[in-house]
Chains A and B, each alone.
Chain A
Amino acid sequence: MLKFIIKRLLEAIPTLLALVTLSFFLMHFAPGSPFTSERGVPAAVLANLQAKYHMNESLMSQYFHYLWDLLHGNLGYSFRFTDFTINQLVAQSFPVSAEIGFWSFLVAVSVGVLCGVFAALRQNSLLDYGVMAFANIGMVLPNFVIAPLCILFFSIHYQWLPAGGWNGGAWPYLIMPVIAMSTSYIAQIARITRGSMIETMHSNFIRTARAKGLPKSHIIIRHALRPAMLPVVSYLGPAFVGIITGSVVVDQFFGTGGIGQHFVNGAINRDYSMVMGITILIGTLTILFNAIVDILYVFIDPKIRY
């Protein structure tokens, strides 16, 4: 197992390097620069700005400079929020996204798996149709529709919840972002769980368990659930990263100050260091969670050995 973990870590280095290189050059080749503004910047001022960000050097030199800083854990100054470094902005926004992500993930997994299991066990029943209808609606309803609907309902109409803000993550501020974030994931997880559970329930070892006269709850919990979870678990790795970093809409509608908005606006504003910083963060998280999923397999699927 240790060998496997070390191997995965070593594999991560060239993957991340390729990601950094590709994003760095793609970003710099985009038309416009961080200093493009409606009002022409005086040449001398532009020269000073470029010097601050090493942009007066050749692209290759900037690239190596970036790698060197990266090795020292320095993600550079933001071009857009000039009073902040990327490290400071990530330190401020990542915990917000992580908290929304954590709760959304928890809700998505628990509700999604529960719905999927019940739908599978009552296949072609009213419950099954209901769950699947919900799942399909949840999947096609984007969160930029759910978010304003939530605000309309909970904040404007009933005034139960604040329409936005974060306030250090106090629970009334968490509810709507979590609903908006988790709905599509609940739907997706319910669908995967249902399909996988139906398949598992028709497999030979379940038939054997039934033939042995084991109680149904015992069959489901002890025997069916674990193998049925395999496709769900492999979906959860990237889904978790997506939930944490893909909060653009939630950030925008609820003004939570999460990291998702930085990513999109970073690209629009040509904030090279911001885009790079978040790309690296997402890349690292994706590799990390994929590795965690691989490790989880060992515990779920006895056939897998590393």
Chain B
Amino acid sequence: MKFTKTLLASALLSTSLSAMQVHAADVPVGVKLADKQELVKGGEGEPATLDPQKIQGTPGSLRAKDLFEGLYSEGEGGKLVPGVATGYTVNDDNTVYTFNLRHDAKWSDGSPVTANDFVYGFQRLVAPKTASVYSWYAALAGINNAQNIIDGKAKVSDLGVKALDKYTFQVSLDHSVPYFVKMTVNSAMYPAPKQAIEKFGDNWTKAGNLVSNGAYKLDTWIVNEKMVFVRNHNYWNDKKTIINKVTVLPIKDSTVEFSRYQAGDLDVTSFSGIPTNRYKELLKTTPDEVKVTPQLAAYYYDFNNQQPPFDDVRVRKALSYAIDRSIITKYVTGVGEIPAYTFTPPSVDGFTAKQPEYAKWTQAERNAKAKELLKEAGYDKNNPLSFTLLYNTNDGHKKIAIAVASMWKKTLGVNATLENQEWKTFIDTRNLGNFGVARDGWVGDYNEASTFLDLFKSTNTSNNAHYKNAQYDQYMAQAAKANDPAPFYQKAEDLVIDQDMAVAPIYQYSIKRLVKTYVGGYKPNLEDNIYTRDMYIIAH
């Protein structure tokens, strides 16, 4: 393989990244630390697994961030922070990334973390034997042969990863992915401890067997009660880690979690830890503990683009325009959510979607336009549009559905019947396209617009709106090859929302967390990549 000369720009980037401050708890001068450095935090429910290559969903990745460390991590505001990698170089078309690994990184058993551990981890992710439900992540990143290996058409050893030497790890991609380094923050791309996995097989993630390379190691895992981590003294930056013990409580219900927080059982709640009905009161009583920041996630309604009457763009636009998003975010959800008129959240790194025309109108103007469009499509109060609005059983979704249906009724005379289904049935119904309008949500996998816009590619398995547009696919293909993909993202965004309204964006989610005032080092970011190693307990 020809490795082109490193571009000046990427060299600069690489140097600047390696010169950046590494992850660690930075205690401001004058802050007195507590004698007992133990943290109890909310865990968003119980994870299915602690195997980094098999983790899907926040409960697992939240814990993996304390136990493992990948090439890069994320710091405050989503800035990349070197992890096991000290820097990287990239060729001129963003297809070959070479990472320099630190020589002092160790596993909790004392063995060194080497490039081979990354090769092994990446290969595990796609190996059919692992059967990881997150294997698509390697294909999404464009790693050479990833899709072929997943499909059983190539050998695991053909994956585009190699150890150039003990501390140099190289990844080759089948197309340009300028944001590849951001993708390494995800647990799917963490190294894997071959020694433990081969020794313990399926039981390698159990307490006592798990070998990790993060700031902490697993001490206890009692399903549905707690998980306890203790300091990994072999961690390369252990001397700058302050918290000695982390207890993660797998509480899913925000009301239950809130009561345990009030009782002093928890120091930090999960990212959905503020019950909506308590928010205003908390802002008055304990404003310093309320941490509400935007999340890289979108709440929206899918129109079934293949099924009448939703195959008519006028119907889709009318329904979308008639949703008063500010009422939803102000009165229905009400904890820092941001009304959305584009699909890609504006806070995503590297691309700020231009607000479409309808975002600039007043709600009255939107309603007038909605009536006009629906009438053109053949529906009015005498011949009302009737359909079912499907959502997964959940009180929050129900409230939003009631609000939206009543807006549609009031403005357009539309009869939307609400139907709820429990999660697995709901997903099945939505995947099969047996719906008219359905609730949907998407949390970005990495901080780049393609994690959102890829969804509407004709072949994407999560394209629940069943939107198919060759022009759109072309824009996304062009974006993937471009050094500056932003103009193509804008075209794609204009097409899918402003022109086609394939879905109705409703709001951008928020991270709503309660953090006791004696907890220092909490650095919120869009993807909620929070690491306990940055935190400390102040004397109180």
> Which A residues contact B (CB, under 8 angstroms)?
30-33, 35-45, 48-49, 52, 80-84, 89, 92-93, 96, 148, 151-152, 155-156, 159, 162-166, 251-253, 255-258, 261-262, 268-270
Q: Once A and B bind, how many residue pairs between them come within 8 Å at the CB atom?
A: 138
Contacts of B224 in A (CB 8 A): 93, 251, 255-258, 261-262
Are A45 and B250 in contact, with the CB atoms below 8 A? no
Contacts of B249 in A (CB 8 A): 164-165, 255
Known: A44-B128, A255-B224, A257-B224. A83 touches B49 (CB 8 A): yes
Contact digits for B230-255, partner A, Cβ 8 Å, 1 yes 0 no: 00000000000000000001110101
Are A37 and B56 in contact, with the CB atoms below 8 A? yes
Can you list 15 A-B pairs with a CB-CB distance of less than 8 A?
Answer: A30-B425, A31-B429, A32-B424, A39-B133, A41-B133, A44-B128, A44-B151, A148-B259, A151-B259, A163-B260, A164-B251, A165-B225, A262-B224, A268-B423, A269-B424
Contacts of B427 in A (CB 8 A): 32, 36-38
Answer whether residue B462 sits at the interface, using C-beta atoms and an 8 A cutoff.
yes
Are B222 and A163 in contact, with the CB atoms below 8 A? no
For chain B, residues 269 to 286, give those with C-beta under 8 angstroms from any C-beta of chain A.
Answer: none
Are B129 and A45 in contact, with the CB atoms below 8 A? no
Contacts of B428 in A (CB 8 A): 31-32, 36
Q: Report how far A268 CA is from B425 CA in the complex, Å.
A: 9
Minimum-distance CB pairs A-B, first 3: A40-B461, A32-B424, A257-B225
Answer whether residue B202 sits at the interface, using C-beta atoms and an 8 A cutoff.
yes
Answer whether residue B110 sits at the interface, using C-beta atoms and an 8 A cutoff.
no
Most chain A CB atoms below 10 A, which of B51, B56, B249, B423: B423
Answer whether residue B431 sits at the interface, using C-beta atoms and an 8 A cutoff.
yes
Contact digits for B425-457, partner A, Cβ 8 Å, 1 yes 0 no: 101110100000000000000000000000000
Q: Report how far A39 CA is from B443 CA in the complex, Å.
A: 11
Sample of 9 more A-B contacts, CB < 8 Å, known A38-B427, A93-B223? A37-B133, A39-B462, A48-B128, A83-B51, A148-B256, A165-B265, A255-B260, A258-B224, A269-B424
Known: A32-B427, A42-B136, A45-B133. A81 touches B223 (CB 8 A): yes
Q: Report how far A45 CA is from B147 CA in the complex, Å.
A: 11
| Among candidates B128, B222, B260, residue contacting A257 with C-beta atoms closer than 8 Å | B222
Kindly provide the distance from the CB of B20 to the nearest chain A CB, expressed in whole angstroms.
Answer: 32
| Among candidates B128, B225, B264, residue contacting A255 with C-beta atoms closer than 8 Å | B225
Are A44 and B461 in contact, with the CB atoms below 8 A? no
Q: Report how far A35 CA is from B223 CA in the complex, Å.
A: 21
Q: Report how far A133 CA is from B458 CA in the complex, Å.
A: 64
Answer whether residue B468 sits at the interface, using C-beta atoms and an 8 A cutoff.
no
Known: A33-B424, A37-B56, A252-B253. A48 touches B263 (CB 8 A): no
Q: Report how far A43 CA is from B431 CA in the complex, Å.
A: 15
Q: Report how far A252 CA is from B257 CA in the complex, Å.
A: 10
Known: A45-B128, A252-B253. A83 touches B424 (CB 8 A): no
Are B265 and A164 in contact, with the CB atoms below 8 A? yes
Are A163 and B263 in contact, with the CB atoms below 8 A? yes
Kindly provide the distance from the CB of B60 to the nearest chain A CB, expressed in whole angstroms.
Answer: 10
Are A52 and B131 in contact, with the CB atoms below 8 A? yes
Are A80 and B48 in contact, with the CB atoms below 8 A? yes
Answer whether residue B182 sits at the interface, using C-beta atoms and an 8 A cutoff.
no
Contacts of B262 in A (CB 8 A): 156, 163
Are B152 and A44 in contact, with the CB atoms below 8 A? yes
Are A159 and B264 in contact, with the CB atoms below 8 A? yes
Q: Report how far A252 CA is from B251 CA in the complex, Å.
A: 8
Contacts of B259 in A (CB 8 A): 148, 151-152, 155-156, 163
Q: Report how far A261 CA is from B250 CA in the complex, Å.
A: 12
Q: Report how far A164 CA is from B253 CA in the complex, Å.
A: 13
Q: Report how far A155 CA is from B429 CA in the complex, Å.
A: 43
Answer whether residue B89 sits at the interface, using C-beta atoms and an 8 A cutoff.
no
Answer whether residue B319 sits at the interface, using C-beta atoms and an 8 A cutoff.
no
Contacts of B49 in A (CB 8 A): 81-83
Contacts of B256 in A (CB 8 A): 148, 164, 252-253, 255
Are B129 and A48 in contact, with the CB atoms below 8 A? yes
Are A92 and B424 in contact, with the CB atoms below 8 A? no
Are B265 and A268 in contact, with the CB atoms below 8 A? no
Using CB atoms, name the residue of chain B closest to A35.
Answer: B133
Kindly provide the distance from the CB of A170 to the nearest chain B CB, expressed in whole angstroms.
Answer: 13
Contact digits for B35-60, partner A, Cβ 8 Å, 1 yes 0 no: 00000000000101111001010000
Are A83 and B260 in contact, with the CB atoms below 8 A? no
Kindly provide the distance from the CB of B181 to the nearest chain A CB, expressed in whole angstroms.
Answer: 23
Answer whether residue B205 sits at the interface, using C-beta atoms and an 8 A cutoff.
yes
Contacts of A49 in B (CB 8 A): 131, 133
Contacts of B151 in A (CB 8 A): 42-44
Kindly provide the distance from the CB of A182 to the nearest chain B CB, expressed in whole angstroms.
Answer: 20
Answer whether residue B175 sits at the interface, using C-beta atoms and an 8 A cutoff.
no
Are A45 and B135 in contact, with the CB atoms below 8 A? yes
Known: A32-B424, A81-B223, A151-B259. A40 touches B132 (CB 8 A): no
Contacts of A152 in B (CB 8 A): 259
Kindly provide the distance from the CB of A41 to the nearest chain B CB, expressed in whole angstroms.
Answer: 5
Q: Report how far A60 CA is from B260 CA in the complex, Å.
A: 46
Q: Report how far A146 CA is from B473 CA in the complex, Å.
A: 55
